[in-house]
Amino acid sequence: MGGRLDRTTTNCCKGIAAIIIMLHHISFRLSNLPVYVKPIWYIAFPIVGFFFFMSGYGLTCGLLQKRNYLQGFLSKRLLNIIAPYVIVAIVWIGLEIIGGGQTPTRAIAEVFTIRYIQPLWFIWVIIAVYIVFYAVFNHTEINVGAYWFAVITIAYILISAFVNPRDEMYASIIGMPLGILWAMYERKIDSYF
């Protein structure tokens, strides 16, 4: 293959995946879609998995290439997620109140729960993933960290499968440890092709 993907490439891949996911959510709100657009309804799971894969790959490449990669990791990553989420939540609350869907008190009380803005479940999961990534790799060597990250991810999937009937919150997260492992063993994997 010729080497690791650079940061720009992995971010572009994640951006394309995010656009496809937005189109997926928009397609459920529109009626009378042409038949050739309807397949977008069924691709969310693999696209979110691809996003997680590229995230795990990119984070691990950074960890392998930069000595102090985890210094300031959480503050930088979480701020980049939480700030846009708060903006979206404020707009969502406003629209809910204006549209009569919620009282102001209830809208504000529910804004930070997973069930409130259902399409944004991903925000809560990616925050948890970043915290686990930091905790695991900050305290162990990379091989051990990858093992523990995979174990924690699989435990999350199994527990979620029993307590949450909606599989979108756990079904595609397996892409993250797979991306981590791919980055760690990319040269060995590439040697087979």
Q: How confident is the model at residue 75 (pLDDT cuts 50, 70, 90)?
A: very high
The answer to whether 132 and 152 are in contact (CB under 8 A) is yes
Confidence at residue 118, expressed as pLDDT on a 0 to 100 scale: 63
Confidence at residue 145, expressed as pLDDT on a 0 to 100 scale: 95
Residues 156-174: pLDDT tens digits? 999 988 887 677 778 889 9
Confidence at residue 1, expressed as pLDDT on a 0 to 100 scale: 46
Residue 116 has pLDDT above 70, yes or no: no
Residue 2 has pLDDT above 60, yes or no: no
Q: Using alpha carbons only, what angle is made at residue 129 by residues 179 and 9, rounded to the nearest 5 degrees? A: 40
User: Mean pLDDT of all residues in the chain?
Assistant: 84
Residues 76-96: pLDDT tens digits? 999 988 888 888 778 877 877
Low-confidence winner among 2-16, 23-37, 125-139, 166-180 (lowest mean pLDDT): 23-37
pTM reported for the whole predicted model: 0.81
Residue 25 has pLDDT above 80, yes or no: no
Average pLDDT for 112-140? 82
Q: How confident is the model at residue 16 (pLDDT cuts 50, 70, 90)?
A: confident
**61 burial via Cβ count (<10 Å: 0-12, 13-18, 19+):** buried
CA-based torsion, 64, 70, 71, 75: positive or negative: positive
Q: How confident is the model at residue 42 (pLDDT cuts 50, 70, 90)?
A: confident
